[in-house]
Structure 1
């Protein structure tokens, strides 16, 4: 049983790595009345059967036009400005202002156009730097944030609060999900702006192609991170938005806790071990050097996914198999360029 009918009017806001994964899953599950936004030069070719709209989500006029044209019943808000430690540290103003603009515009228009359910995608970086592990949803706002991504985290926390505020004041059905570190097809491989996993793939691949003796990586390699494939994330998002009202409403109608569910696989790995796994998959034979002058970020960040597991969902894609798959995607893109 699903709550969203196969002909429901669905809007996926943002067609990046997560948004495109949601579109693939919607297509696989037989949803045919789907629209999505993009801000690049052209829509994604593999979704020609879906309606695509080029929208600057920071512009409230364009977002108003979007909702007026689509009149969606269900919204996946996956659009965001994202990046790794370097990008967050270098462009803090852009990270907080852009994400606040996108969230405010979309959530306000979702209310105006009577959207039935909205799913807001946040990030595990919303939780305090020194959180008990694994991290439960209830730990939100219980301590200081990690400084390197504080502006981004505060923007995402504001999005959660905005969903909760609209639910309490207007009876809307907006739910927030907090994914762990994600990877998958259509990831960002820019060495200055990407997250650790795609950055390592590119570094090792280019080192192999150029016959380098070593690769330098940021930090000590000791921090531990949890990684989830974007296709698993998409599966979880659609699962959550399809929860029956008797369960779903229990989260969005709560007055003593925000409407929040963690999404992850429940297992972590050290960055040093991750780098070694990727090095072997790529086939780089050289040495890995760790630059301890660069920041590590939070030392451990593992989500407690007990709530989602109790609801009946678990991740399916193992890290090794997932990395092998996206390395194939990366090399195909690399050869095409």
Structure 2
């Protein structure tokens, strides 16, 4: 039954997709070099159908197809992936304040990725060294949090959040120490910028990497939507419908670690996407995860694309860390959502 005042999930998804197309088009046009919309469309069409480009148009063509298009697509997949992880983690621990950062997953991924950037760890893996290290860091952080959060009564959501928050600070401290010990000052500065999030290094390789894990994550989470509904109402309810809470949590935490690890390896730590997008989605379409997991990835994609546009156009010719933009938006939005929730419950 549709709640009065809320749009149907199909309508909400359709409108969100239209907004996503619009902001993606803006992302193809704006930047340090302005490219008219007609030229951007012409370059993209030539790239798709194999058309010809005049010699004087080659620089603009390269900017659109080799720089801005992969950057926009990476932004879309990053936003979708982080939003889905936020939805999943909040359901698994039954806490609306949970996200990959609060549970220490992102901080663990940052430790592994920083070790690669500054010290060349896992150098034998070549292009896959950074995502592999970030994934191992995220997975290691997940395992440590799960082990330490387990009590005699099983895995308690509140204990999990508290333990994840504490260990997240610990992993952040390790990252700070690694930056301090870095042999090259320039590398340390670039890592600090990267840790706040940046899509400047997005390439077609990152599009396929982040796109693959994000799409797989969205599909897996959507397939588990009914189980997430049951688990969000308590372990006893989940067990009554045939879900093993412990195994289910572990499996989805591993999936979340993979998604976060890959995203952090590509663009660093981008906060608040996985925290506020699930809240905004539930305000629009309700708490049913079958609806939430349809809309949340699209809203997350819109948010990150817009944040990336702002980060590279707000103070030209400089580029701000995208994490600073998402925090500037996310903090007041989250405070407003919490105040609204308090008014509803009182």
| TM bracket (short chain) | under 0.3
**If the length of structure 1 is used for normalisation, what is the TM-score?**
0.27
Please state which structure has a larger fraction of its residues in helix.
2
**If the length of structure 2 is used for normalisation, what is the TM-score?**
0.26
